[in-house]
Chains A and B, each alone.
Chain A
Amino acid sequence: MNAMQVEAEIKKSQRLRELKIRIKNCCCRYCGGSLKLRRILYGNLSEGRVEIFCTDCDRIEYGVDREIFHVAKHFVQEFDFNMYPDNAGNVRTVQMNTAKVCDIMAWGCKNLGFLAYDGFQVPVDISQGIIGDDVVLRNAELEPEPEIETMDENMIFGRGSGDSTCL
């Protein structure tokens, strides 16, 4: 394989590579659950048919770095943060608030140069009071090659019905 072929190979499925990196580092912004790669569409081209998915929330979810989720969740719970006072005070509202704080924190960290799509660019040391008993896994501790789930047609057509196992 010559240099040009190698470069073409790297460019090919670039998005898929990025998504694989992301599910190792990130969790769902809403529930903190693990993310999976899932083939959503029935197209022939892998670049266009695979998305990151939270099976707990049943949603396509880009995710956020686990460290940020823990801090955001702690912030929402500790200070009763609520930017959706018109919503019912239920789990969904708490999750929406957590996701919003995750977005704000991720935006801030990215613009401060700490965070890129492939994770934190500096060592992160979360306060034990925030992380509690939860364990944040590092890249090296995670399986190297995540599998892509295939969503069967019944699962697709069952979506959007308002049923969710998470909320």
Chain B
Amino acid sequence: MSVIISCAHIGCQFGQRFLLYDINWEVQKGDHWIVFGLNGSGKTTLLSIIAGFNAFTHGQLKVFGAEYDEDNILPLRRRIGWVSSSFFDKYLSWESVLSVVLSGISGTLGLSRLVTDQDVKRSLSLLRQMRLGDKTDQPFALLSKGERQSALIARALVSNPEILILDEPGTGLDIFARDWVLGTVADFARLTDMTIIYVTHYAEEILPMFQQALLLRQGRVFCQGAAAELFTDKVLTDFLDLPVTVSLVDKRYHINPEGRWGHV
């Protein structure tokens, strides 16, 4: 096993505020990690930095053993599949679905001359697999939330990435679409040697193959380690600052609040 992502004291300062502070985290090749945290904990910021789509202000980041620079940023980005509707929805609107998928070939947001006929065929094939075969020319913004997630998954996969980062892929999906996404992720984990990082708010989305977890709170690492040791009553009660119990049903975690939050 080799270290594929290495964050050493990563910080991201915006004005006087730190969105991320002193993040130390190593991911080994082939690992399957969960990144868990509440809204505003810095999950998307951290992973957009790792995916090479955002800047950081402090510390050192190495991806595949290298720091991002002008020469390697696009080749490295191509090796990382980055699915994040909260990120891409800010930048993509009227671009066609096919263009969005093809942009994954060059690791950019737009197209490039690197795109070949084979890339187009593969993109169309992925879109058909994602049940978007009839939406390839539609503007990205006119797709439903679930369809946008599927298009971004196709974008992530088009370059055969070694790392797949899924940022809350289940958020906003209906139960069938979410189940389908989870099944697809489970297949990737089972059938490929991809390193997978899955970001979620919801413990029940944590599949059994995600054996390690990083818990982020207010831009800092609260704790990290084996998921089975972190998803316990004590750790999550401390993490959430509210009393909870954690149960395991059908190999899925469920967080149950003690009493009713928000009620005195």
Contact = CB atoms under 8 A, between A and B. Distances in A.
Interface of A: 11-13, 15, 18, 30, 40-48, 51-52, 57-62, 84, 92, 96, 99-100, 117, 156-157, 159-162, 164, 167
Interface in B83-114: 89-96, 99, 103, 106-113
Interface residues of B, number: 32
Contacts of B112: 15, 18, 62
B94 A12 contact: no
Interface in B53-73: 53-55, 68-71, 73
Given A15-B106, A48-B73, A159-B92, 5 more contacts: A40-B109, A45-B73, A60-B91, A61-B110, A96-B137
Nearest to B117: A107
A18 B71 CA distance: 15
B43 interface: no
A163 to B, nearest CB: 9
Contacts of B68: 45, 48
A60 B110 contact: yes
Interface of B: 52-55, 68-71, 73-74, 77, 89-96, 99, 103, 106-113, 137, 139, 141
A57 B90 contact: no
Contact of B141 (A43, A44, A46, A162): A162
A19 B128 CA distance: 30
A48 B91 contact: no
B90 A157 contact: yes
A36 to B, nearest CB: 12
A43 B113 contact: no
Contact of A62 (B53, B71, B99, B141): B99
Nearest to A12: B70
Nearest to B137: A96
Contact of B52 (A48, A96, A156, A164): A48
